[in-house]
Structure 1
Amino acid sequence: MKKSKILILVALVLAGCKEVVDQNDTITNVVKEEVKSVQEAKEELTSKGFEIFDYVDEKTKDTVLMQQYFIAFLKRGPNRSQGKEEADSLQALHMAHLGKMYDEGYADISGPFGDDGDIRGITIYNTPTQAMADSLANADPMVKAGRLVIEIHPWWAAKGFPLR
């Protein structure tokens, strides 16, 4: 009985070691894929005309891929005389436009500011050129109606880093 308990214990330990080895192999494969994916991402982005650069983070020794985005400031426009019904309709069309930009991969994040200032909100465009971002931003029904105006600036961010 004692020998069978020992054999079972040895079998469990060996099985556990195999799981650790399997996990390490998986981790190694993921690391190899990440290294490969940085190079692939660089090639894909540059082939599409995006401006990029990379650097090595001194602390982690990871390669960080930076991409140029375009941040659009949506500012209070000169024509804000619409009635409530028209303003509500424009707001619905504005939200649909921003949703479409996100769904099509042109905008990564959009949102209003929490105060009642002249800058009403932002959209970060994921486009290769400022001209393209400007064209997409100016296609917004709120901009076309003059309720908002657009101010766009190039903006750099690390590719794939989440908001915290």
Structure 2
Amino acid sequence: MEFDTVLSLRKSARSYTGEAVSEKEIHALIHAAEESSVGHHNDKGYALVVVRDPEVLKRISTEGGERVGKPHMIYEAPLLILICRTKDVMETLEGFDAGIIAEHIHLKASDLGLSSIILFGFIRLLGKDADYLKMLHLPEGVSPILAVAVGHSPLDGKKRKEDRHFTVIER
């Protein structure tokens, strides 16, 4: 797909059909994440956790509803990719790096004809002792920074509105 087309299709989807994301598509999304740049080439500072277990996905939504009154924290997407810090992360770069990794996943999802949304709310609101984290059995020192929910959506293949215009200052 042409890059400008990928950019025009890239948007945040808040509804999904429930159709599974294929193994081939998951592999392509992970490959795109691994192609992203991280500061000081610190690949060891990050881990990706692929969550497609319906019980874990449901737990995130249920826990969100119970603890913060906000159900559907992942919009019922069938796939969630957690971008996690490890003990080797450079704290001054982690948010920047995680954003780049997330955007690579987001762009590849558009390229594959999938929809996605970058999520931070449930990670921040549910905290580091959340039940869903216990279900994941993450290694010590690994914890989420950002997440990208991915799936098939009624928005697949529809271009984003062309209503975005930043102020551009040239000197």
Band of TM-score, shorter chain: 0.3 to 0.5
Q: TM-score scaled to structure 1, two decimals? A: 0.33
Q: TM-score scaled to structure 2, two decimals? A: 0.32
Kindly indicate which of the two structures has a greater share of residues assigned to helix.
1
Kindly indicate which of the two structures has a greater share of residues assigned to strand.
1
Larger RCO (alpha carbons 8 Å, 6+ apart) = 2
